[in-house]
Structure 1
Amino acid sequence: MKKLHTVNEKQLAQLLTLWLNSNLDAHAFIDKRYWQEQLPFVKKTLPESELYIYTTNDKILGFIGLMDNYIAGLFVEKSYRNLGIGTKLLHAAKANHEQLTLTVFEKNNKAVKFYLAENFLIEKKQLDAHTNESEFVMTWT
């Protein structure tokens, strides 16, 4: 587990690929063009985020990105899921924050169950303006 203070081009490319592939896989209910259209914004904001990465042999297998106390995303390479990497990344973020907030699509059942098991509480349900999908705002303290 490592906190990134700066992101080089190779790392950024790996993070963007992991971000896109994970979103496409976890959110089949959202048109893939939406995620592809978000790439320029993510490319700009990732280096500004608080990032924790999980690597092996210089390959990034997972990462969590935060903006202040907001978890912008938690992503793990598909073939490495369910091995505890996401939990380790989340715990690294929890160790450095007293409170964390996130939004998760209601249809992303695995993620909702994961965050509930990690003691996040559903604060409210709302409609995501960009996708018209229902999402939960969840908080951990």
Structure 2
Amino acid sequence: MIRPLRAEDLNQVVELWYCTSVLAHDFIPQEFWYSQKQAMHDIYLPNSNTWVYEQGDCILGFIAYYQGFIPALFVSPNAQSQGIGQQLLDSLKQLHNPLQLAVYAENQRAHQFYLKQGFQEIERRVCEHTQHDEIVMAWQASA
């Protein structure tokens, strides 16, 4: 079930984000992700519109939206390739159009996922926080 993030979900969602970030971005030192945990908990998630994918009492994924941008879409590693990311993205597409996001160029799996979901590359740049190349992608519903 997809539902809005609740305050009591924050710890579980931040832990999901952290563990998944470390695995998906092995080209970035783990210390960077650790250094961002408190900001995710206190700033980024509370100031975004965020929805979680919950199964039973377990949150398996989440998506965040902020001013036309998707700053986060993460699915637990043991729940990936089961359509959860696509369901979260599809639910957001029903609410917001157009959408943009940035994905690390080295994260080829995520890049390919977004291409399959109809996103197109619009820019390549260097991430100011990590100095790694990222790809800005955009999606817009067809008329």
Q: TM-score range by the shorter chain?
A: over 0.9
Moved more, 43-52 or 56-65: 43-52
**Alpha-carbon distance between aligned partners in 1 of 2:39 and 2:7, rounded to the nearest angstrom:** 17
**Alpha-carbon distance between aligned partners in 1 of 2:7 and 2:66, rounded to the nearest angstrom:** 19
- What CA deviation, in whole Å up to 9, does each residue of 1:84-117 have, x standing for no partner? 0000000011010111000000000000000001
- What CA deviation, in whole Å up to 9, does each residue of 1:2-24 have, x standing for no partner? 331x6223x11110100101100
**Matches for 1:35-74 after TM superposition, within 5 Å:** 35-44=33-42, 45-74=44-73
Query: Unpaired segments of 5 or more residues in structure 1?
Result: none
Q: CA RMSD in A?
A: 1.0
TM-score scaled by structure 2? 0.93
**Alpha-carbon distance between aligned partners in 1 of 2:131 and 2:7, rounded to the nearest angstrom:** 35
Task: Tell me the equivalent position of 1:126.
Answer: 125
> What letter matches 2:30 in structure 1?
K
Task: Tell me the equivalent position of 1:29.
Answer: 27
Contact 2:3/2:54 (8 A) holds in 1: no
Task: Tell me the equivalent position of 2:109.
Answer: 110
Task: Tell me the equivalent position of 1:2.
Answer: 2
Query: Unpaired segments of 5 or more residues in structure 2?
Result: none
**Alpha-carbon distance between aligned partners in 1 of 2:59 and 2:139, rounded to the nearest angstrom:** 26
> What letter matches 2:131 in structure 1?
N
**Alpha-carbon distance between aligned partners in 1 of 2:32 and 2:133, rounded to the nearest angstrom:** 16
**Alpha-carbon distance between aligned partners in 2 of 1:105 and 1:74, rounded to the nearest angstrom:** 13
Q: How many residues align?
A: 139
Residue 48 of structure 1 and its aligned partner are, at CA, apart by 2.2
Residue 123 of structure 1 and its aligned partner are, at CA, apart by 0.3
Query: Which one of the candidate residues 5, 12, 25 is aligned to 2:10?
Result: 12
> What letter matches 2:21 in structure 1?
N
Change (3 A) 1:47 1:7: farther
Describe the SS at the equivalent of 1:82.
Answer: coil
**Alpha-carbon distance between aligned partners in 2 of 1:8 and 1:40, rounded to the nearest angstrom:** 14
Describe the SS at the equivalent of 1:101.
Answer: strand
Residue 58 of structure 1 and its aligned partner are, at CA, apart by 1.7
